[in-house]
Amino acid sequence: MKFLLLPLAVVLLLLFLYDRGFISVKMGRALIFVGTIFSARYKSFHGSIRRVLRPAESKTYLFSFSSELSCGSIEAEIFDKENHLLLQLQKHESKELYLEQGRKYLLVLRARSADGAHHLEWE
């Protein structure tokens, strides 16, 4: 029974960190992937990365996305708690989105056989 406590504690800690927006979950494959959901370089990346966003204050945030790909495609999407698409960014785009403090949003980066790099920032 005691040998199950440590793995259970680790799983609960990871779930807590994901829910608070401290870690991302990557589901996919890539020959090379170096970076995070906000900035990375990759070769043959196909899949998605998810991260919870919890804004520090209620205001309109500017999201800027830029990608330089030799092939494939990549896009960033933001969903609300009910899984409604609020924002979609591709290639070189900047858009504003009002986010409320205390609410949970999901940032998803989707790639399809992408070779290159991306950079995402929000302020």
Q: Please state the rounded mean pLDDT for residues 37-52.
A: 91
The β-bridge partners of 35 are 40
3-12, 50-59, 106-115: which has the minimum mean pLDDT? 3-12
Classify residue 5: in a domain, yes or no: no
Nearest in space to 91 (alpha carbons), one of 69, 122, 62: 69
Q: What tens digit of pLDDT does each residue of 71-107 get? A: 999 999 999 999 999 999 999 999 999 999 989 999 9
Q: How many domains does the chain have?
A: 1
Q: Is the pLDDT of residue 1 over 80?
A: no
Residue 1 lies in a domain: no
Helix H or strand E segment including 13? helix 2-19
Find the domain containing 104 and state its range.
24-122
User: Domain with 101 in it: what CATH number?
Assistant: 2.60.120.380
Q: Is residue 7 part of a domain?
A: no
36 phi, psi to nearest 5 deg: -125, -175
CB 65 within 8 A of CB 111: no
Q: What pLDDT band is residue 33 in, cutting at 50, 70 and 90?
A: confident
Mean pLDDT of the chain: 91
The answer as to whether 109 is a domain residue is yes
Considering only 32-36, 63-67, 75-79, which range has the smallest mean pLDDT? 32-36
71 token code pair = 């092939």
Of residues 106, 108, 103, the one with CA closest to residue 65: 108
- Is the model's pLDDT at 19 over the cut of 90? no
Query: What does pTM read for this prediction?
Result: 0.84
30 confidence band (pLDDT: 50, 70, 90) = confident
